[in-house]
Amino acid sequence: MSAFQEKHWYHMFSNKARVLYPSSDPAHDYLHIMRVVNTAKQLCQAEKARWEVVMPAAFFHDFINVPKNDPRRPYASKLSAEATIEYLKSVNYPEEFFEDIRHAIEAHSYSAGIKPETLEARIIQDADRLDSLGAIGIARCFAVSTQMSRPFYAEEDPWAESRELDDKSYGIDHFFSKLFKLVEHLNTPTAKKEGEHRVAFIRTYLDQIKREI
């Protein structure tokens, strides 16, 4: 893909994403998409992957956004993949990349449990998971907590010292039940290094919360 073609598709996908993703969901809005796109591009360059696959997969990995507490959540990535391919057909994107784009989108989801089989799929998964960590990951976690009407922490036992973790009920529990574990499942060396840095920041933040409450 030439630099001119890349720029053409980038702007087309960016414009589509701007109207596709609602500002009412700050954890999965246009800004989330652009962070994932930018991270994916950095990983793509570092790992020498195909931008022709990574770019559309990054822009449209959340094409169909199913709420976290919806029973259809495990199927969201497959629905997004199908919708993405239909859109790419409508704008005459090169069909030779379709199957790899489809797989990259399907495999990015934590809920779907699909193993990424290609470098490009591993990059999309890494880019999306990195956006759940660090300072922005904290903001997204509490944004979802608001949507789910769950308090930030359990009043009697904020750190789950004498109870089971329950991230459906308490926001802070989500860091321990899922987010800290994401680093272990990052695929590329570049993402692992960044993930460790972001987790260290979250732990510092939680130390401060513990001091305050």
In this prediction the pTM is 0.92
Predicted local confidence at residue 55, as pLDDT: 98
Averaged over successive runs of 10 residues, the pLDDT of the chain (213 residues) comes to 87 95 87 97 96 98 76 78 97 97 92 88 97 97 92 95 95 96 94 97 96 94
- Residue 38 CA neighbour count, 13 Å, CB half: 7
Task: Report the CATH number of the 6-114 domain.
Answer: 1.10.472
The answer to whether 6-114 and 133-212 have equal CATH topology is no
Place of tokens 């598709």: 9
Predicted local confidence at residue 71, as pLDDT: 62
Predicted local confidence at residue 166, as pLDDT: 96
Burial 56-75 (b: 16+ CB within 10 A, else e): bbbbbbbbbbbebeeeeeeb
C-alpha distances (whole Å) from 71 to each of 66, 67, 74, 84 are 9, 9, 7, 22
Place of tokens 């109207």: 19
Are 59 and 93 in contact, with CB atoms under 8 Å apart? no
Distance CA(147)–CA(123), nearest Å, equals 28
Fold of 133-212: Hypothetical protein af1432 (1.10.3210)
Q: Which helix (H) or strand (E) holds 8?
A: helix 3-20
Domain boundaries along the sequence of the chain: 6-114, 133-212
Could you please report the per-residue DSSP string of 117-139?
A: -SHHHHHHHHHHHHTTSHHHHHH
Predicted local confidence at residue 25, as pLDDT: 86
Predicted local confidence at residue 54, as pLDDT: 98
